[in-house]
Amino acid sequence: MDAATLLGMAAGTLTTVSFLPQVIKTWKTRSTKDISTGMFSLFCAGIFFWILYGFSISSLPVIVTNIITFILAFIILVLKLRNG
**Which residues of the chain form contacts with a copy of itself (CB under 8 A)?**
3-4, 7-8, 10-22, 24-26, 29, 31-43, 45-47, 49-50, 52-53, 56-57
Q: How far is the CB of 78 from a copy of itself (least distance, A)?
A: 15
47 burial type by CB count under 10 A (0-12 exposed, 13-18 middle, 19+ buried): buried
Cα dihedral: 76, 32, 26, 83 (round 10): -70
Nearer to a copy of itself, 13 or 81 (CB): 13
Q: How far is the CB of 65 from a copy of itself (least distance, A)?
A: 10
Q: How far is the CB of 61 from a copy of itself (least distance, A)?
A: 12
**Longest distance between any two alpha carbons in the chain, whole Å:** 46
